[in-house]
Amino acid sequence: QVQLVESGGGLVQAGGSLRLSCAASGSILSVNVMGWYRQAPGKQRELVAGITSGGSTNYADSVKGRFTISRDNAKNTVYLQMNSLKPEDTAVYYCNADSIAIAGPGTHYYGWDYWGKGTLVTVSS
């Protein structure tokens, strides 16, 4: 099966930076889309940034110019560089991987919509 493990969260002052990482493991042949979502207390989970295997990216308006998503396809790992952090960026950040080609006995199949357990980012004012 596929597992996603995030790392890199923590406490930082406003204006500071953090880098999140998420590694996908399992019998993975390829991952089409990887992304980061976040959920603040009392709010719905929202997309922060996404990236395709070809490198196309999209960002939430609230993070454009401050956050950068990147990935290492060979390592099935996605990163989120977060700069100029604001208190409103405080949330649990979740990694997502979608449309994954997974090796099976003599064949392969596709899995959809996998999530990590999340990593907490706290930005103090």
What average pLDDT does this structure show over 42-48?
A: 97
Res 22: pLDDT: 98
Question: Would you call 76 exposed, middle or buried from its count of C-beta atoms within 10 A (0-12, 13-18, 19+)?
Answer: buried
Q: Does residue 20 surpass a pLDDT of 90?
A: yes
Q: Residue 54's pLDDT band (boundaries 50, 70, 90)?
A: very high
SS (H, E, C) 61-74: HHHCCCEEEEEEHH
> Does position 40 have pLDDT exceeding 90, yes or no?
yes
Written as six digits, the tokens of 2 are: 């596929």
Contact 91, 40 (CB under 8 A): yes
User: Which H or E element spans position 30?
Assistant: strand 28-39
Task: Give tens-digit pLDDT for 78-123.
Answer: 999 999 999 999 999 999 999 899 998 888 888 899 999 999 999 9
% the chain with pLDDT above 70: 100
Q: CB burial class (10 A; 0-12, 13-18, 19+) of residue 48? A: buried
Each residue of 6-29: b (16+ CB within 10 Å) or e? bebbeebeeeeebebbbbbeeebe
Q: Dig out the tokens for 114 from the structure.
A: 């996998």
